[in-house]
Amino acid sequence: QKEVEQDPGPLSVPEGAIVSLNCTYSNSAFQYFMWYRQYSRKGPELLMYTYSSGNKEDGRFTAQVDKSSKYISLFIRDSQPSDSATYLCAMSANNYGQNFVFGPGTRLSVLP
Amino acid sequence: ETGVTQSPTHLIKTRGQQVTLRCSSQSGHNTVSWYQQALGQGPQFIFQYYREEENGRGNFPPRFSGLQFPNYSSELNVNALELDDSALYLCASSLGAQDQETQYFGPGTRLLVL
């Protein structure tokens, strides 16, 4: 079993839909959780950064962490074609970048 | 766009050759991390440099080596290239070694090994 699992997609949704992206993990020591967006031919861009369990909201984006289920989610409300990208989750037991483990990413297409 | 730049953008090499990739960090950032991203995979941590010293290394062989300069720019060197080294190489800079919330990635260098 991989340490971090993520459905690779592709996931296609119509413009305006609510998108749910998910990751599961096996290491119960993970406490730091991040979501990155990566456009084609670009580097990843940090979207959300959360510590421990709970929800965090930033504009149209909401990140949820359920440590008891080892499951994290990113919700995108009112999705736009500009949200079409690959979304990567990353997590770690501490805040050292060397210890962050990335999921393989989910490719999202938002159709106009 | 972040302030992290990488050069070159693309590179083609043959097996056994050596390659040097370069990264300029965001202004004010003293930490640079390098990642390898194979097609369809998430980035894998190679190593990190903090104030010119290596500060952690992932599961990569010694033929992957690096440097950080006094201006905090950095190089990644790969010797004896193998076909599996074909990937997107990303560098990311941050304000500190434990400051991942401020980590910004560059656009990457796409390396193809034939």
pLDDT tens for residues A21-39? 999 999 999 999 999 999 9
* Predicted pLDDT at A5: 93
In this prediction, residues B80-86 reach a mean pLDDT of: 98
* Predicted pLDDT at B103: 85
Where residue A15 falls among pLDDT bands split at 50, 70, 90?
very high
- Which residues share a beta bridge with B37? B88
* Predicted pLDDT at B100: 72
Please, are residues B91 and B26 in contact by the beta-carbon 8 Å criterion?
no
Chain A residue closest to B49 (CA)? A98
* Predicted pLDDT at B48: 92
Half-sphere exposure of A48 (CA within 13 A, CB side): 26
Cβ separation B56–A98 shorter than 8 A:
yes
Termini Cα distance of chain B: 31
Q: Which of B98, B100, B101, B104 to mutate to test the interface with A (most CBs of A within 10 A)?
A: B100
* Separation between Cα atoms, residue A100 and residue A92, nearest integer Å: 5
In this prediction, residues A13-26 reach a mean pLDDT of: 96
Q: Which residue has the higher pLDDT, B94 or B84?
A: B84
Q: Please identify, in words, the CATH class of the domain defined by A4-95.
A: mainly beta
Where residue A94 falls among pLDDT bands split at 50, 70, 90?
confident
pLDDT, tens digit, 9 for 90 and up, residues A50-89: 988 889 999 999 999 999 999 999 999 999 999 999 999 9
Q: Which of B103, B104, B109 to mutate to test the interface with A (most CBs of A within 10 A)?
A: B103
SS3 B83: helix
Please, are residues B67 and B103 in contact by the beta-carbon 8 Å criterion?
no
